[in-house]
C-alpha cells in the first residue's frame, strides 16, 4: 500500500469506508454498516466489487454489523497481487 495509513471516512450512506493492507501488502478496501453482533462479512464473486451487496446491506445492518470488501484487484482495492 502506498500510504502508511488510511483514515476511514464516513460516506453519505452512513457507512464507514476504510482500507487495510493484506498479508502481502495489497490494499483492501472495506465498508462497514450497522451495529450488533455477530458481524456479517459479504465477499463478492469474480469480476464484481463490494457494491454487489448494496441491496442486502440495509436489511442486515438493521440487526448486525455488516462488512463488505473489495477483494484485491477489484473495485477500489489494490491490483498489485503477484499470486
Q: What is the pLDDT of residues 44-79, one digit of tens each?
A: 999 999 999 999 999 999 999 999 999 888 988 888
H or E segment to which residue 20 belongs? strand 16-21
CB 36 within 8 A of CB 63: yes
Q: Greater confidence, 15 or 59?
A: 59
What pLDDT does 5 receive?
A: 58
What pLDDT does 2 receive?
A: 44
Q: How far apart are CA 54 and CA 78, in angstroms?
A: 21
If one counts every other C-beta atom within 10 angstroms of the C-beta of residue 69, the result is 20
Count each helix (H run) and each strand (E run) in the chain, helices first.
Answer: 1, 5
Amino acid at each position: 500500500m502506498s500510504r502508511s495509513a488510511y483514515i476511514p471516512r464516513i460516506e453519505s450512506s452512513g457507512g464507514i469506508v476504510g482500507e487495510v493492507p493484506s498479508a502481502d501488502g495489497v490494499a483492501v478496501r472495506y465498508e462497514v454498516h450497522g451495529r450488533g453482533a455477530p458481524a456479517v462479512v459479504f465477499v463478492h464473486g469474480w469480476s464484481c466489487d463490494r457494491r454487489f451487496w448494496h441491496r442486502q446491506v440495509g436489511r442486515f445492518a438493521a440487526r448486525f454489523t455488516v462488512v463488505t470488501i473489495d477483494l484485491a484487484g477489484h473495485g477500489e482495492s489494490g491490483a498489485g497481487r503477484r499470486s
